[in-house]
């Protein structure tokens, strides 16, 4: 039954990939929105088709990393399009909001299915489930930061260099952290370093908000406030006595 749900989610991803392509074409002239849609198009169809292939060939249990990728991209797409809506990226093209909302709705449906399948395959206990959730969010933040660079470059180009540098550095750091935390979950120093890097990223972001107020920074700060306590909780439960 779970495989059937995941298979349905995979087909939805392929269909959403087509929606991304249509959105990208319809948003031509709106730099951030069109480029973002085309990037997601490049992810969704290959990942959806890959997931379909794994399920039909009974290989999902052996190749679980794609589930992490699909879970992350579902979260990332919802987050990115939500931020594009609240910053009014479609501008006067109000019909584009419908495409963004449709994507968010189906991603909200897909995310728990993919998340539940991954934690079930890995037979995770409560601490591991929380850790995995935080890793998905950290990876989503990493990609989101790199996507947001477009907004701070602007069109016509009016680059805001402090924000671009911040997003580039912490986008890369968050992506690296998510991979390391997923693959090397038992290293104490890595866990401490992750907490410090996440705290630093949040504090610098709050400082930059004073000079460059943006709802995107507020949303990302809220996500930091969710994942940092999770990482601290995971550290205290698994490494404090060492």
- Alpha-carbon span 181 to 208, nearest angstrom: 27
Tokens 């959105």 belong to which residue?
A: 23
The residue out of 103, 122, 141 marking a domain boundary is: 122
Tokens linked to 13: 């991803």
Q: For residues 176-192, b (16+ Cβ closer than 10 Å) or e, as one string? A: ebbebbbeebeeeeebe
Q: Tell me, yes or no, whether 115 and 128 share the same domain.
A: no
Q: Tell me, yes or no, whether 72 and 100 share the same domain.
A: yes
The CA-based angle 75-79-82, given to 5 degrees, is 140
| Ramachandran angles phi, psi of 210, nearest 5° | -60, -35
Q: Tell me, yes or no, whether 22 and 89 share the same domain.
A: yes
Q: What's the number of domains the chain is made of?
A: 2
Q: Tell me, yes or no, whether 107 and 18 share the same domain.
A: yes
The residue out of 122, 140, 173 marking a domain boundary is: 122
List the domain range (segments joined by +) for residue 26.
1-122
Please tell me the number of Cα atoms within 13 Å of 114 on its side-chain side: 31
Q: Tell me, yes or no, whether 104 and 170 share the same domain.
A: no
Residue 73 three-state SS = helix
Question: How far from the centroid of its chain's Cα atoms is residue 27's Cα?
Answer: 22
Asked whether 67 and 114 are in contact (CB, 8 A), the reply is yes
pLDDT at 64 (0 to 100):
75
Give the model confidence (pLDDT) of 155-206 as tens digits.
777 899 999 999 999 999 999 999 999 888 778 889 999 999 999 999 999 9
Which alpha helices (DSSP H) does the chain contain, by range?
2-26, 31-56, 65-86, 95-121, 126-153, 161-183, 188-211, 215-238
Evaluate if residue 240 carries a pLDDT over 70. no
- Alpha-carbon span 171 to 177, nearest angstrom: 10
Tell me which of 96-110, 113-127, 196-210 is least confident. Answer: 113-127
Give the model confidence (pLDDT) of 131-162 as tens digits.
999 999 999 999 999 988 988 887 777 899 99
Evaluate if residue 121 carries a pLDDT over 90. no
Q: Tell me, yes or no, whether 213 and 135 share the same domain.
A: yes
Q: How far is CA 129 from CA 96, 135, 225, in A?
A: 35, 10, 18
From first CA to last CA, the distance across the chain in angstroms is 41
Question: How far from the centroid of its chain's Cα atoms is residue 155's Cα?
Answer: 25
Q: Tell me, yes or no, whether 6 and 84 share the same domain.
A: yes
Q: Tell me, yes or no, whether 199 and 102 share the same domain.
A: no
What average pLDDT does range 8-20 have in this prediction? 95
pLDDT at 205 (0 to 100):
96
The residue out of 122, 141, 171 marking a domain boundary is: 122
pLDDT at 52 (0 to 100):
93
- Alpha-carbon span 69 to 140, nearest angstrom: 10
Q: Tell me, yes or no, whether 108 and 147 share the same domain.
A: no
Q: Tell me, yes or no, whether 100 and 142 share the same domain.
A: no
Residue 228: pLDDT band (50, 70, 90) is very high
Q: How far is CA 69 from CA 62, 80, 136, 228, in A?
A: 15, 16, 9, 21
Give the model confidence (pLDDT) of 52-94 as tens digits.
999 888 887 766 788 889 999 999 999 999 999 999 999 899 9
Asked whether 2 and 117 are in contact (CB, 8 A), the reply is yes
- pTM, to two decimals: 0.89
Supply the mean pLDDT for the chain.
Answer: 91
Q: Tell me, yes or no, whether 118 and 151 share the same domain.
A: no
Other beta carbons within 10 angstroms of residue 236's beta carbon come to 12
Q: Tell me, yes or no, whether 2 and 118 share the same domain.
A: yes
pLDDT at 242 (0 to 100):
57
């Amino acid at each position: 039954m779970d495989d059937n749900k995941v298979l349905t989610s995979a087909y939805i991803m392929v269909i959403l990939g087509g929606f991304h392509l249509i959105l990208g074409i319809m948003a031509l002239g709106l730099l951030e929105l069109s480029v973002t849609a085309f990037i997601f198009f490049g992810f969704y169809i290959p990942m959806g088709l890959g997931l379909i292939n794994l399920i039909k060939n009974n290989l999902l249990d052996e190749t679980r990393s794609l589930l992490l990728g699909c879970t992350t991209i579902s979260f990332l797409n919802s987050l990115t399009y939500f931020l594009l809506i609240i910053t009014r990226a479609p501008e006067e093209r109000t019909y584009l909001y419908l495409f963004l909302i449709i994507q968010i709705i189906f991603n909200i449906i897909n995310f728990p299915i993919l998340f539940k399948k991954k934690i079930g395959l890995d037979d995770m206990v409560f601490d591991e489930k929380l850790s995995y959730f935080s890793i998905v969010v950290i990876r989503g933040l990493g990609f989101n930061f790199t996507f947001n660079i477009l907004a701070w470059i602007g069109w016509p180009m009016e680059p805001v260099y402090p924000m671009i540098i911040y997003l580039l550095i912490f986008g890369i750091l968050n992506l690296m952290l998510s991979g390391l935390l997923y693959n090397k979950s038992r290293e104490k120093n890595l866990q401490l370093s992750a907490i410090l890097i996440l705290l630093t990223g949040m504090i610098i972001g709050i400082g930059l908000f004073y000079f460059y107020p943006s709802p995107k920074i507020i949303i990302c700060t809220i996500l930091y406030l969710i994942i940092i306590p999770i990482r601290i909780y995971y550290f205290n439960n698994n490494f404090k006595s060492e």
